[in-house]
Structure 1
Amino acid sequence: MTMKPVSAVIFCAFLAAVSAQQYTSKYDNVDVDKILKNDRVLNNYIKCMMDEGPCTSEGRELKKTLPDALNSGCTKCSPKQKEATEKVVKHLMNKKSRDWERLSKKYDPQGNFKKRYEAELAASKKA
């Protein structure tokens, strides 16, 4: 599967359309690690999410689903989607902090999601 611009897999777990009980698992087999290791692909995902570049179908789904997932605390996410989301968020916070800040401002203007993940990251570093 060729991955083009779609935003940093950034919250890959959300690469799905909203459904009544759970997000679709259609994109659960996206190789998040591969995307995070490829700056070009990752940057294309970020550009998509920031409306600065074209999006793949996965990127469009992510952009559509992300606000609901953030507002609901990812309650409709599967365990696999939650795991991928955490991996992406940690990568962005540690390796692409500027992009993390930009994405957070756009998709989490009140900072609720960002605060939770930053607290979790700080706690995991102490452990």
Structure 2
Amino acid sequence: MHCASLVVLLTVIGIAIAQNPYTTKYDNVDVDKILKNDRVLTNYIKCLMDEGPCTPEGRELKKTLPDALESNCSKCNEKQKNTTEKVIRHLMNKRTKDWDRLTKKYDPQGAYKHRYQQETNSA
């Protein structure tokens, strides 16, 4: 009986950990300012592509991006979801080469790219 209780407890802890939302520490970063500044945006892209150094924000993004793509941003708060859509729309429309490079790295089968393209086109 003790072993069964331990298994249940570990399962509950595992589910709680898996559902933890992403940090809100960087929610107040001015994304519009970044998107308007080609040099800064390029530096973030280089960070994500392992071609340059990362800021703390870039490291956090790089760490959470694969999970956020896979889970359809299920751990994102509303602000993070809106910011994600804004950035994706910007990259798709204004930085298509960078969008293609990022999707090749983070979505080589194209599963998430297709889903996000549909979502941003319908928005």
TM-score by length of 1: 0.79
Which consecutive residues of structure 1, in runs of 5 or more, have no partner in the other structure?
1-17
Question: Matches of residues 77-88 of structure 1 in structure 2 within 5 Å?
Answer: 77-88=76-87
Which residue identity lines up with residue 29 of structure 1 in the other structure? N
Contact 2:66 2:106 survives alignment (8 Å): yes
Query: d(CA) in 1 for partners of 2:27 and 2:120?
Result: 23
Query: d(CA) in 2 for partners of 1:24 and 1:119?
Result: 27
Residue 54 of structure 2 aligns with which residue? 55
Which residue identity lines up with residue 79 of structure 1 in the other structure? E
Residue 4 of structure 2 aligns with which residue? none
Q: Compare relative contact order (CA 8 Å, sep 6+) and give the higher one, 1 or 2.
A: 1
Of Structure 1 and Structure 2, the greater helix share is in 2
Deviation for aligned residue 1:19: 6.7
Residue 10 of structure 2 aligns with which residue? none
SS of alignment partner, residue 102 of structure 2: helix
Query: d(CA) in 1 for partners of 2:58 and 2:122?
Result: 31
Deviation for aligned residue 1:38: 0.3
Q: Max radius of gyration: which structure?
A: 2
Deviation for aligned residue 1:111: 1.3
| 1:103 lines up with 2:96 in the alignment | no
Identity of aligned residues (%): 70
Query: d(CA) in 2 for partners of 1:21 and 1:121?
Result: 26
The number of equivalent residue pairs is 107
Which residue identity lines up with residue 55 of structure 1 in the other structure? C
Deviation for aligned residue 1:121: 3.4
- The CA RMSD over aligned residues, in Å, is 1.5
Residue 7 of structure 2 aligns with which residue? none
Deviation for aligned residue 1:53: 0.6
Residue 42 of structure 1 aligns with which residue? 41
Residue 23 of structure 2 aligns with which residue? 24
1:69-91 superposed Cα distances (whole Å, 9 cap, x missing partner): 11111100000000000000000
SS of alignment partner, residue 66 of structure 2: helix
SS of alignment partner, residue 23 of structure 2: coil
Residue 93 of structure 1 aligns with which residue? 92
